[in-house]
Amino acid sequence: MKPTLKPGIRYEHRYRVPASKTVPALYPEAEEFLAMPEVFATGFLVGFLEWACIKAINPHLDWPREQTVGIHVNVSHSAATPPGMEVTASVELIAVEGKKLVFRVRATDGVDVISEGTHERFVIDRERFDAKVRAKAGQA
């Protein structure tokens, strides 16, 4: 982690929602999802917010050796967004607690605020992380 990794880092990320990021596409093998409206899926919204947080802090890490993984998500999804609309995520790093990073996150679709909340990420050493995952897979 570089000394520049401090609270106050902000980032804004834009993305045009394609049909492949709607609820029916979330788990296409689930008939329940296939029957639901074609709007930006909460699962993909969470990934979009994570993406914005990653983009915000990667310049402040020894990327790609150091990376971050999501460890906690606490967000609303308060408005539906149809495909074709552009969503904007605004994120701010509000706390650095050792290797734990806490973000305030917000997303809009040009009409509504679609999400607000917090997201936490943890800084990892990719090589060590992969070794632990391989060891765990060997126990399965």
Query: Tens digits of per-residue pLDDT, 35-76?
Result: 999 999 999 999 999 999 999 999 999 999 999 999 999 999
Residue 2 within a domain: no
Task: Indicate if 72 belongs to the active site.
Answer: no
Is 5 inside a domain boundary?
no
- Per the structure, the complete domain to which residue 38 belongs is given by 10-139
Residue 115 covered by a domain: yes
User: Which residue in 13, 22, 50, 81 is the catalytic one?
Assistant: 50
50 part of the active site: yes
Exactly one of 38, 42, 92, 118 is catalytic; which is it? 42
Is 38 part of a structural domain of the chain? yes
Measure the CA–CA gap between 21 and 72, rounded to whole angstroms: 22
Active site residue 42: yes
Q: Determine the residue type at 67.
A: Q
The CA distance from 138 to 93, in Å, is 36
Q: With cut-offs at 50, 70 and 90, classify the pLDDT of residue 140.
A: confident
Domain count for the chain, please give it: 1
Catalytic residue among 22, 77, 119, 120: 77
d(CA 130, CA 136): 10
Give 105-132 pLDDT, tens digit per residue: 999 999 999 999 999 999 999 999 999 9
Would you say residue 125 lies in a domain? yes
CATH number of the domain within which 45 lies: 3.10.129.10
